[in-house]
Structure 1
Amino acid sequence: MVRAQLVITPWKYLSFSPKPLKTNFFHSTSSQQSETSKCGWKVLFFGTDEFALESLKRLHQEYRSKRHVNHLEAVTAYEGDENAVTKYAQDHGIKIHHWPMEACLDFDIGLVVSFGRLIPSRIIKSFPLGMINVHASLLPRWRGAAPIIHALMNGDRTTGVTIMKIAPKKFDVGEIINQKEIQIDDHETQIQLHKRLASMGGDLLMETLGKLPDIINSGIAQSPENVTYAPKIQKNISIVKWKEMTARDVYNLQRALTGIFPLKTTFQGKSVKIFGVKLVKKIPRDCYERESNPGKIYYDKNEGSLLVQCKNDSWVTVDEIALAGKPKMSATDFNNGFFKNRWDRVLFFGVEQQPNNENKINKRVLKL
């Protein structure tokens, strides 16, 4: 992926969220409802993270041009260094309000992108045009906080962006008013797909604003069929289950968690992180000679990597390993430390001792 970079984990993906800001409620001063005009709409934007930021940037451009937006303010839900919306708003003179709020008067429409809070009916009804949300999936597939991660883990070949009306009491169930589909590349990671969908979300939002107010009344109810859910993830989702996961499953898990969590297994009862997981292009002949046993590792000296057996006799390669409390080491260093000149030794990841029927080995093989 090429270039080293600092990646801030989007809090909305995780099974916890930062502490909300303690602020006074924001009260608008007027209840006058504006009508559509050549100068655009009065917009109140709700968002927090990098995904939301792309839409806010597009809205700010529209505000400066006075085309679809003639007034723009923003609402954020928590404090923290990773609150990209707050930082951008402060840098560009956009007025910020802090959640929770009692009312949102003097605005035509509320736009919600990666906000992470249920919005009560009284807030939704305070906007003449209601509220709409930009969601990073093809609803009703992947309702929830982490649609990009779940799409990649599941091996989806397509995804997209949905713009829907905000409904009270439940997330991601409102009528769909706009939607666009894209193909997912076989090797695309969470970071790459997140960036692509964020940009698409901004484009689709601008297209939707240009069709107001008519598009609001053209919403289509979500089908009750094919509904799937994308809840916030927990750290233990990164643990590889070798007997249950094919090579593609393991690779997809790494793609989904890139920039969030490294993949994990265990070695001698301690946690081990593995890096640089790839699908095997060509399996060495030695691997075919062994019985199927998900978790075994063969050191491929020609490639300088570890080959790890997965479910259904499929294999992945691993480039680097980090033992508990230690820095990363290459697959070659791991081989030199645990296998070189020890042809009768069998090591195991994930079990305390080796099975009785595998106490001798002639190759550099270990078990996860």
Structure 2
Amino acid sequence: MNLLFRRVVQIRGPWMHSRSNNTLVNLRMLQARDKNPNKHMRVLFFGNDAYSLEILKALTTSYDSDDGIVKNIRLVCPTPLYTNDRRKKVVWKSLVNEHADHFALPVSHVGNKHEMSRWDLPDRDNRYDIAVVAGFDWTLPAELASKFPLGILSVHPSLLPKLRGADPVMNAMITKFTVVGVTVCKYDFEGNDSGDILAQLPYEIPKGYRREEIYRDLGYIGGNLLVKCLEHIKPVLKAAQKQNPKFITYTREYSDKICKIEWETMTAHDIVERYRATQGKIPMYSIWRMKTIMSKVFIYDMYVADPSIPPLEKNFLKYPPGSLFFKRKVQYLEVPCIDGSRLHITRLGREGRTIMTALQFVNGYLRVSGALRMLTSPVQPKLLTPPFVYPKGYVKPELDQVYKPNESDEVYAPKYLVPLD
């Protein structure tokens, strides 16, 4: 817990430093003022994904504790998918649903957004004090506003009013933000994330972290922040502040084109940074040609090769970017990029096929190292693959610029990538 909260930084940006827009609620001060803190609270939780799972875990921890604020929890989440109408075998179940089953929490299911628009409390006799929404796909009906004496809260993974909307972490990483955060606010029934802010904490993105790892941390931080707010909910609600319209920004809805690898312009670092930003939502992909068939090949795990690692092909700079190099006992594919950097791929798969390890892909599709390459766009199936077109003014790097061996010149690889005997 302490290690994680070291990454929560007390920054001072214009959206937090201004006296007219000081949105970071001083919970300690409110706790000192609160003479009658809440002791038992019945919570209805709306969630779905890994981010909301961490918040539900914080509520469950309080629920299990003898002196916890939460007295009762009920979960509302998407309906599981089954193999057939008889519902004998579950194909998919949300993470929060699995967690609720483990702790024997009551669960209500919602099939789609149209069903959600007509949804009402499952047990009208069992009243709830407050509702919490986190990582839930559908907008709640406005009729629910009057059903909870303390209202409905939202735990949003951004520093509102910045990055309103869906998937703020992916947007932040694509636009090169180094700091994101989590905000506890009043729920906005219009889905604009414009509710009054109760509390928020900034979070500095650790180097090398992927999208899902950041959401996991934000969920953990947001869950603990939510519990602190619930413990003194009445003074916290009174201290809630409006969002400053001067600093409003919105997230952008990206298509899968954002994950297309353009070998003519993208370095290994560019590709991996984009992969980290979209990981778990949209996989990176390139075009793979098998004779006259063009298909997407999705890349699920990759990293930038250490410049000190000897390349699998000594003359790899003579090959066009996107070429695939392999050795039968090495558990990664090596792909040169436009600047001479190298990409190591460990898991990938053709569109519509199962995900493969690099060795499985080699055994299934590759015969000669460096003979085939991935393409940026499909080509005419009846014609030969055209030669790679380098950008105008391109200067090919020298080997000593991109390969810097250690003094011992030993092959380095992570433990899980050491060649098999």
One fold, TM greater than 0.5? yes
Aligned position for 1:86: 97
Does structure 2 conserve the Cα–Cα contact (< 8 Å) formed by 1:306 and 1:331?
A: no
Does structure 1 conserve the Cα–Cα contact (< 8 Å) formed by 2:47 and 2:96?
A: yes
Aligned position for 2:52: 52
Report the Cα distance in structure 2 between the residues aligned to 1:93 and 1:168, rounded to whole angstroms: 30
**1:36-85 deviation line (CA, Å, top 9, x unaligned):** 76532232222223322222232233234253223332323433432233
Does structure 2 conserve the Cα–Cα contact (< 8 Å) formed by 1:55 and 1:198?
A: yes
* Equivalent pairs, count: 312
Structure 1 length as normaliser, TM-score? Answer: 0.69
**1:233-287 deviation line (CA, Å, top 9, x unaligned):** 6555432233464543311222134345542101333322345433355399978
After superposition, residues 1-368 of structure 1 pair within 5 angstroms as 38-64=38-64, 65-80=66-81, 81-99=92-110, 100=116, 101-102=119-120, 106-224=127-245, 225-231=247-253, 235-243=256-264, 245-268=266-289, 269-274=294-299, 276-279=301-304, 281-282=306-307, 295=321, 297=323, 306-310=334-338, 313=339, 315-320=341-346, 322=349, 327-329=356-358, 337-338=367-368, 349=375, 350=377, 352=379, 353-355=385-387
Report the Cα distance in structure 2 between the residues aligned to 1:253 and 1:238, rounded to whole angstroms: 7
Shift of 1:203: 0.9
Does structure 1 conserve the Cα–Cα contact (< 8 Å) formed by 2:42 and 2:130?
A: yes
Residue ranges of structure 1 left out of the alignment (5+ in a row): 1-35, 359-368
Percent of aligned pairs with the same amino acid: 22
Does structure 2 conserve the Cα–Cα contact (< 8 Å) formed by 1:136 and 1:160?
A: yes
Report the Cα distance in structure 1 between the residues aligned to 2:238 and 2:302, rounded to whole angstroms: 48
Shift of 1:356: 9.7
Q: Which moved more, 1:172-181 or 1:257-266?
A: 257-266
Residue ranges of structure 2 left out of the alignment (5+ in a row): 1-35, 82-91, 111-115, 380-384, 391-421
Shift of 1:347: 5.6
Counterpart amino acid of residue 272 in structure 1: V
Counterpart amino acid of residue 229 in structure 1: T
Shift of 1:195: 2.1
Shift of 1:296: 5.1
Q: Which moved more, 1:81-90 or 1:118-127?
A: 81-90
Does structure 2 conserve the Cα–Cα contact (< 8 Å) formed by 1:305 and 1:331?
A: no
Does structure 2 conserve the Cα–Cα contact (< 8 Å) formed by 1:274 and 1:318?
A: no
Q: 1:316 to 1:179 in 2, by over 3 A?
A: farther
Shift of 1:288: 7.8
**1:181-216 deviation line (CA, Å, top 9, x unaligned):** 121122112232222222112111111112211111
Report the Cα distance in structure 2 between the residues aligned to 1:51 and 1:201, rounded to whole angstroms: 9
Alignment RMSD (CA, Å): 3.8
Does structure 1 conserve the Cα–Cα contact (< 8 Å) formed by 2:326 and 2:369?
A: no
Counterpart amino acid of residue 49 in structure 2: D
Q: 1:143 to 1:246 in 2, by over 3 A?
A: farther
Does structure 1 conserve the Cα–Cα contact (< 8 Å) formed by 2:283 and 2:298?
A: yes
Shift of 1:229: 0.7
**1:114-161 deviation line (CA, Å, top 9, x unaligned):** 122212322123222211111122223333332233333333322221
Aligned position for 1:10: none
Does structure 2 conserve the Cα–Cα contact (< 8 Å) formed by 1:53 and 1:85?
A: yes
**1:325-351 deviation line (CA, Å, top 9, x unaligned):** 5844459959973456xxxx7866235
